[in-house]
């Protein structure tokens, strides 16, 4: 059974728009799940993710640009309140993919909580809430 809770929030902070997409999903064993977001060139993007339940709390992460260029790929193990964060400046207009791969698991599904935040602000400003 797929678990999906969706929260889509569009905020205006001053005159700069911030788009945030937050999801909680269950990635079944021997599968991968990808999510897509249209992002404009020169936007700052912060991708935060965490496995909250399932086996060793591990998942393969892959972020791909519209051209197919892989921006980030790793097998991430989460410990305690550990959270994975990938930040980048979008160099291309188009649809970016954010994938979670649980192909290595034989029996254990993984519950993943993640956010994709894009803005004209810097990725550091986005993650710090504008506080420096």
Q: What is the pLDDT of residue 29?
A: 97
What gap in Å lies between CA 85 and CA 127, rounded to an integer? Answer: 9
| pLDDT tens-digit series, residues 13-67 | 333 455 556 889 999 999 999 999 999 999 999 999 999 999 999 999 999 999 9
| pLDDT tens-digit series, residues 89-113 | 999 999 999 999 999 999 999 999 9
Instruction: Kindly report the pTM of this predicted structure.
Output: 0.76
pLDDT at 68 over 90: yes
What is residue 80's DSSP assignment?
Answer: T
45 neighbors 87 (Cβ within 8 angstroms)? yes
Residue in 79, 19, 92 with CA at minimum distance from that of residue 52 = 79
What gap in Å lies between CA 106 and CA 46, rounded to an integer? Answer: 31
């Amino acid at each position: 059974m797929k678990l999906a809770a969706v929260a889509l929030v569009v905020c205006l902070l001053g005159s700069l728009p911030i788009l945030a997409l937050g999801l909680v999903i269950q990635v079944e064993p021997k599968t991968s799940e990808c999510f897509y977001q249209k992002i404009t060139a020169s936007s700052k993007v912060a991708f935060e993710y965490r496995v909250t339940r399932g086996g060793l709390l591990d998942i393969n992460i892959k972020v791909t640009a519209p051209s197919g260029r892989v921006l980030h790929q790793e097998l991430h193990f989460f410990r305690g309140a550990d959270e994975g964060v990938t930040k980048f400046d979008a160099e291309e207009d188009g649809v970016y993919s954010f994938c979670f791969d649980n192909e290595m698991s034989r029996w254990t599904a993984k519950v993943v909580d993640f956010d994709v935040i894009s803005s004209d602000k810097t990725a550091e400003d986005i993650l710090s809430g504008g506080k420096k």
